């Protein structure tokens, strides 16, 4: 059942040298917890027979969300890449839990990086401890990839802002204590920290998703939603820039979640290929299967390295938009391909057994969410052309 | 209270692979902290929490032993000591116990030493008893329900279906069985803090292991246990085959 392997350890050593051991110790601890408190509930979560709160709480209490933040903010001071690798392990144990925590962390990162001292003091302890759950509200019913054209507006008044609009496909909707809502303002775009207790924030019905069924996703409407001036994250006008930077970071995490999903399906497929016999041979003895195993393994390992390279650039304070997007595109498309192959290998059982096809259903989100592959390819090309120019 | 706990970096049996002749591939094999040692560490940390004092985590081995020490420190160990062996040293149980005891003797006013019932790779279960002998202190084997009070330790031991309640004066060596407790998970912050704590290194060569009498044990060979799966093909129509399946399961006493 162990998920953290010598291969992960070798990636840590190549990236962090002597500091790798602390990262490895952290990941071994996370892995143990996942095997006991998360993985056993994953199928039930997909079927709607369990709630995400238990697995998520176990990880929060363990301190997962503290991992990449400095000690002075209440964090554990680990490398971002180690956190990204932890999210691979979570993705492998349960994709929905990983998705929920990944989105939560994006908001925690927003407060840590762009929040005012007052916002950090008020919100960060709860967010890092997981006592407060967060949601990231950027996408709208009529604008996903084209986020800049958002219709949600925040109008400045005497004692704050009034937000009007609608946000779509919001992970953790209905459960979150705080929503990071992006809105157009007279000075550009703003990001607002809206508490769930605000009567102007209304959560729609649960969306019937293909995958990631353990996590909650809904529309969030902002109707005459009054917020104080202190709810504005950082500076007015910088909201869209914040969103771009947060998504760059989040794409590394989402890419690593995809690596975890792919590995979960891959491990199942490998075990099945050794057990299932066809024409007097095991499936794993057939050359066609071997080719697929090799391709899946190459894809998974390459995806991990691409995401970890982006993590290393982020840690070094260098530009990493293109690399993060590359990691996310490659990892999500690899995950879909590997999970699809796993269904094919299992044949009729793959198509009918939720425990097999759920991996494909989970992976399928991530070629769309947090930047669709098509848009990310445009971003990558644009960054690469700038670099060469 | 001065508490010592012994830990070992053992071969990770879950990752062990055999070559074509059935010999385990030991070169470059993955290691992990011996599973049972976690119970020893848990008992040591509980003793510290109840009585105050320090827990010294002690291990002998190559560089992987540091991982085991750090894990134990993350669980609540106060400080770590590593007797560092080189690839050529390969001490057996007796030499290992001699070295551990030599280092333990340096600790003033020692109260108790915890170890596990055996390591999860070789499971010889010898080192704890040998350490007690070198130190000249009592040894309580296979202990659970361990209580430390007023200069003595009491525990329960399962022997041949009977529960024996034993008592020994302190200091003593206590080997802890796996059902004695449930080892705690260190949180991320505890792992980070443990990662920053220094570990004292002692070179194996500096301990001057005497020309001790060899234990007389010699490993002649290690083989993977063959595990051929039992297969039974049930022929006939679905009805006939299912009847045969039920009969087969009944004959095995499974239903």
pLDDT at A124 > cutoff 70: yes
The pLDDT mean for chain A works out to 95
Contact present, B37 and B181 (Cβ < 8 Å): no
Measured distance CA(A268)–CA(A260) in Å, rounded = 13
**Crossing angle between the packed helical segments A287-315 and A239-275, to the nearest 10 degrees:** 150
Q: Does B51 touch chain A (CB under 8 A)?
A: no
> Which of A21, A33, A67 is the closest to B185 by Cβ?
A33
Tell me whether residues B185 and A22 touch, CB distance under 8 A: no
> Which of B14, B15, B70 is the closest to A25 by Cβ?
B70
Q: Which segment of A345-359, B45-59, B126-140, B219-233 scores lowest on mean pLDDT? A: B219-233
Tokens of A311: 């993590």
Q: Give the pLDDT band (50/70/90) at residue B213.
A: low
Helices (H), chain A: 6-16, 20-37, 42-47, 53-62, 80-93, 95-114, 117-129, 239-275, 287-315, 321-346, 348-352, 354-365, 373-388
The 10 Å Cβ neighbour count of residue B27 is: 4
Measured distance CA(A90)–CA(A85) in Å, rounded = 9
- Would you call A118 exposed, middle or buried from its count of C-beta atoms within 10 A (0-12, 13-18, 19+)? exposed
Percent of chain A whose pLDDT exceeds 90: 91
Q: Does A21 touch chain B (CB under 8 A)?
A: yes
Q: Does B233 touch chain A (CB under 8 A)?
A: no
For residue B193, give the chain A residue with the closest CA: A76
For residue B63, give the chain A residue with the closest CA: A21
Instruction: Report CA-CA distances (Å) from B33 to A136, B30, B72, B141, B201.
Output: 40, 11, 9, 21, 18
Q: Which residues of A touch B185 (CB under 8 A)?
A: 29, 32-33, 62
> Which of A21, A29, A32 is the closest to B188 by Cβ?
A29
| ipTM confidence score | 0.76
Whose structure tokens read 């239903």?
B255
Measured distance CA(A133)–CA(A127) in Å, rounded = 6
Measured distance CA(A200)–CA(A220) in Å, rounded = 10
Tokens of A124: 């960060």
Measured distance CA(B144)–CA(B178) in Å, rounded = 8
User: What are the catalytic residues of A?
Assistant: 370
User: Which of the residues A10, A16, A21, A26 would you substitute to probe the B interface, choosing the one with the greatest number of B C-beta atoms within 10 Å?
Assistant: A26
Contact present, B143 and B176 (Cβ < 8 Å): yes
Q: Which residues of B touch A28 (CB under 8 A)?
A: 32, 71
Cβ neighbours of residue B165 closer than 8 Å, sequence gap 6 or more: B154, B155, B156, B157
User: Which of the residues A3, A25, A86 would you substitute to probe the B interface, choosing the one with the greatest number of B C-beta atoms within 10 Å?
Assistant: A25
- Tens digit of each residue's pLDDT (9 = 90 or more) over A198-236: 999 999 999 999 999 999 999 999 999 999 999 999 999
- The pLDDT of B200-227, averaged and rounded, is 77
Tokens of B92: 């057996």
Q: Is B70 left (phi over 0), alpha (psi -120 to 50) or beta?
A: alpha
* Vertex B105 angle, CA B104 and B108, to 5°: 95
Contact present, B183 and A32 (Cβ < 8 Å): no
Q: Which residues of B touch A77 (CB under 8 A)?
A: 192
- Tens digit of each residue's pLDDT (9 = 90 or more) over A5-49: 888 989 999 999 988 988 999 999 999 999 999 999 999 999 998
- Tens digit of each residue's pLDDT (9 = 90 or more) over A332-381: 999 999 999 999 999 999 999 999 999 999 999 999 999 999 999 999 99
- Tens digit of each residue's pLDDT (9 = 90 or more) over A135-153: 999 999 988 777 778 999 9
pLDDT at A1 > cutoff 60: no
Q: Does A26 touch chain B (CB under 8 A)?
A: yes
For residue A27, give the chain B residue with the closest CA: B188
Q: Which of residues 68-97 of B touch A (CB under 8 A)?
A: 70-71, 74
Tell me whether residues A2 and B189 touch, CB distance under 8 A: no
Rounded to two decimals, the pTM is: 0.86
SS3 state of residue B32: strand
Contact present, B116 and B34 (Cβ < 8 Å): yes
Cβ neighbours of residue B45 closer than 8 Å, sequence gap 6 or more: B55, B75, B76, B77, B184
Tell me whether residues A22 and B191 touch, CB distance under 8 A: yes
Tell me whether residues A6 and B30 touch, CB distance under 8 A: yes
> Which of B14, B66, B186 is the closest to A29 by Cβ?
B186
One-character DSSP codes across A270-285: HHHHHH-EETTEEGGG
Measured distance CA(B112)–CA(B51) in Å, rounded = 12
Tokens of A118: 């007052």
Q: B31 to chain A nearest CA, in Å?
A: 10
Tell me whether residues B194 and A25 touch, CB distance under 8 A: yes
One-character DSSP codes across B215-247: -S-------PPP-PPP-----S-HHHHHHHHHH
Tokens of A167: 């946000």
- Tens digit of each residue's pLDDT (9 = 90 or more) over B53-101: 999 999 999 999 999 999 999 999 999 999 999 988 878 889 999 999 9
pLDDT at B229 > cutoff 70: no
Q: Which residues of B touch A78 (CB under 8 A)?
A: 188, 192
- Tens digit of each residue's pLDDT (9 = 90 or more) over A56-95: 999 999 999 999 999 999 999 999 999 999 999 999 999 9
The pLDDT mean for chain B works out to 89
| Confidence at residue B228, expressed as pLDDT on a 0 to 100 scale | 64
| Confidence at residue B32, expressed as pLDDT on a 0 to 100 scale | 85
- Would you call B45 exposed, middle or buried from its count of C-beta atoms within 10 A (0-12, 13-18, 19+)? buried
Measured distance CA(B249)–CA(A361) in Å, rounded = 37
Q: A77 to chain B nearest CA, in Å?
A: 8
Instruction: Report CA-CA distances (Å) from B97 to B91, B128, B214.
Output: 9, 7, 12
| Confidence at residue B215, expressed as pLDDT on a 0 to 100 scale | 60
Q: Is A239 left (phi over 0), alpha (psi -120 to 50) or beta?
A: alpha
For residue B71, give the chain A residue with the closest CA: A25
| Confidence at residue A3, expressed as pLDDT on a 0 to 100 scale | 82
Q: A25 to chain B nearest CA, in Å?
A: 7
Instruction: Report CA-CA distances (Å) from B3 to A34, A93, B9, B97, B158.
Output: 31, 37, 20, 17, 24
- The pLDDT of A297-305, averaged and rounded, is 97
> Which of A24, A32, A63 is the closest to B189 by Cβ?
A63
Measured distance CA(A218)–CA(A270) in Å, rounded = 36
Contact present, B60 and B9 (Cβ < 8 Å): no
Tell me whether residues B187 and A64 touch, CB distance under 8 A: no
CA neighbor of A326 nearest in space, from A242, A254, A387: A254
């Amino acid at each position: 059942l162990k998920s953290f392997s010598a291969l992960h350890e070798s990636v840590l050593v190549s990236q962090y040298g002597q500091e790798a051991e602390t990262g490895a110790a952290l990941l071994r601890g996370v892995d143990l917890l996942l095997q006991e408190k998360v993985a056993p509930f994953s199928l039930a979560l997909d079927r709607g027979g369990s709630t995400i709160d238990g697995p998520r709480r176990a990880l929060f209490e363990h301190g997962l969300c503290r991992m990449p933040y400095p000690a002075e903010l209440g964090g554990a001071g680990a490398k971002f890449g180690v956190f990204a690798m932890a999210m691979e392990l979570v993705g492998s144990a349960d994709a929905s839990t990983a998705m929920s925590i990944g989105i939560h962390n994006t908001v925690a990162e927003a407060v840590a990086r762009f929040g005012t001292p007052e916002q950090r003091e008020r919100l960060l302890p709860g967010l890092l401890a997981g006592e407060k759950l967060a949601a990231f509200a950027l996408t709208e019913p009529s604008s996903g990839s084209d986020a800049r054209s958002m219709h949600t507006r925040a109008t400045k008044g005497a004692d704050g802002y009034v937000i009007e609009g609608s946000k779509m496909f919001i992970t953790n909707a209905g459960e979150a204590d705080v929503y990071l809502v992006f809105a157009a303002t007279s000075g550009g775009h703003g990001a607002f920290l809206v508490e769930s207790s605000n009567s102007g924030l209304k959560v729609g019905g649960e969306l019937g998703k293909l995958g990631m069924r353990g996590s909650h996703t809904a529309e969030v409407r902002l109707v005459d939603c009054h917020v104080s001036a202190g709810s504005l994250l950082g500076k007015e006008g910088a909201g869209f820039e914040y969103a771009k930077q947060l998504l760059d970071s989040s794409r590394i995490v989402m890419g690593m979640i995809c690596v975890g999903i792919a590995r979960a399906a891959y491990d199942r497929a490998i075990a099945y290929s050794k057990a299932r016999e066809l024409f007097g041979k095991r499936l794993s003895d057939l050359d066609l299967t071997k080719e697929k195993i090799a391709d899946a393994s190459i894809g998974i390992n390459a995806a991990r390295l691409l995401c970890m390279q982006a993590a290393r650039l982020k840690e070094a304070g260098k530009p990493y938009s293109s690399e993060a997007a590359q990691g996310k595109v490659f990892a999500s498309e690899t995950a879909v391909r590997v999970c699809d192959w796993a269904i094919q290998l299992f044949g009729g059982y793959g198509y009918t057994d939720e425990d097999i096809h759920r991996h494909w259903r989970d992976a399928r989100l991530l070629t769309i969410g947090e930047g669709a592959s098509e848009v990310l390819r445009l971003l990558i090309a644009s960054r690469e052309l700038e670099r060469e120019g | 209270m001065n508490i010592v706990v012994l830990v070992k970096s053992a071969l990770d049996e879950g990752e062990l692979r055999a070559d074509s002749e059935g010999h385990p591939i030991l070169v470059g094999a993955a290691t992990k902290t011996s599973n049972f040692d976690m119970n020893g560490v848990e008992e040591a940390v509980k003793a510290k929490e109840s009585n105050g004092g320090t827990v010294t985590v002690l291990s002998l081995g190559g560089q992987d032993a540091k991982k085991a020490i750090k894990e134990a420190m993350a669980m609540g160990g106060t400080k770590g000591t590593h007797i560092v062996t080189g690839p050529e040293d390969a001490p057996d149980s007796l030499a290992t116990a001699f070295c551990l005891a030599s280092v333990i003797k340096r600790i003033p006013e020692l109260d108790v030493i915890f170890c596990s019932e055996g390591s999860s790779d070789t499971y010889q279960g010898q080192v704890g008893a040998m350490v007690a002998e070198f130190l000249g202190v009592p040894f309580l084997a296979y202990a659970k329900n361990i209580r430390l009070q007023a200069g003595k330790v009491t525990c329960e031991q399962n022997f041949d279906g009977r529960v024996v309640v034993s008592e020994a004066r302190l200091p003593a060596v206590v080997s802890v069985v796996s059902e004695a407790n449930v080892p705690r998970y260190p949180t991320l912050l505890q792992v980070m803090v443990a990662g920053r704590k220094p570990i004292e290194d002692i070179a194996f060569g500096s301990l001057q292991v005497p020309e001790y009498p060899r234990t007389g044990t010699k490993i002649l060979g290690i083989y993977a246990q063959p595990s051929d799966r039992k297969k039974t093909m049930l022929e006939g129509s679905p009805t006939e085959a299912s009847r045969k399946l039920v009969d087969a399961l009944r004959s095995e006493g499974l239903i």
